[in-house]
Homo-oligomer: A and B are copies of this chain.
């Protein structure tokens, strides 16, 4: 069975900016999806901001194993309801891969609980990504380092929680460094942030970048059945406690009552 993957694209600069449209005539999301579909284990489709419900209905998310997210100019146009829906899907087991300027996407900030800020410079400088974890599934088949001749710079300090694992660190020609590949778990969902991908450069045409994304989809995929109610906080009444106990002392709640939220 293939991994059902959705590449979500903001699809704004591709429509407005000639440079971006030239590099990605079918949009960045389609470029990425095409690259993923070269892997027989992945079946990728796309969704864009402009679709109804941004293309991310409950039904579609239920059928999505891994979601990739690229956004930049229009983070604020993403509906809070959809963001919460995506967060619940992640908690229930959907994988999420956040790309480049998606560090400021509502969904990434929602799942991190931190500002996710950084320093930046748009100068087409050279970026070199170094593996910090050789043979990590996300780095499988990659050399210890690879270069992107033209990229936007993102610099530390990067306002994220301490990652579960740091997989890549970038060197920039202008003198900065950045944790460019970091993993997290949120509920049953695997989350990976991958830095490169500024829209005015052909980053998603790069073979190493495409390799990282295919690897990341496979890494993020959780084959277990989705958790039905990932936010439930069930009461366990005394008579079904794992060990026999007797109720003691005063209480606030009645049996089977829902707790406060």
- Which A residues contact B (CB, under 8 angstroms)? 13, 17, 19, 72-76, 87, 91, 93, 101, 104, 110-115, 117-125, 128, 130-137, 140-141, 144-145, 147, 150, 153, 155-159, 161-162, 164-166, 169-177, 179, 184-188, 199-201, 222-224, 227, 230-238, 241-243, 245-253, 259-261
Instruction: Classify the interface of chain A: helix, strand, loop or mixed.
Output: loop
A174-B243, A232-B117, A234-B119 known; A248 vs B124 contact (CB < 8 Å):
yes
B187 close to A114 (CB less than 8 A): yes
* Nearest B residue (CB) for A226: B135
Question: Which chain B residues lie closer than 8 Å to A162 at the CB level?
Answer: 133, 164-166, 185
Question: Which chain B residues lie closer than 8 Å to A141 at the CB level?
Answer: 224
* Nearest B residue (CB) for A131: B157
The docked-state distance in angstroms from the alpha carbon of A184 to that of B72 is 29
A73-B260, A110-B113, A231-B159 known; A175 vs B241 contact (CB < 8 Å):
yes
The docked-state distance in angstroms from the alpha carbon of A56 to that of B71 is 34
Q: List 16 A-B contacts (CB under 8 A).
A: A74-B260, A104-B259, A111-B114, A121-B237, A122-B253, A124-B250, A130-B155, A130-B157, A134-B157, A135-B224, A144-B157, A150-B249, A162-B185, A164-B164, A171-B175, A171-B242
- Most chain B CB inside 10 Å of its own CB: which residue of A19, A150, A153, A242: A242
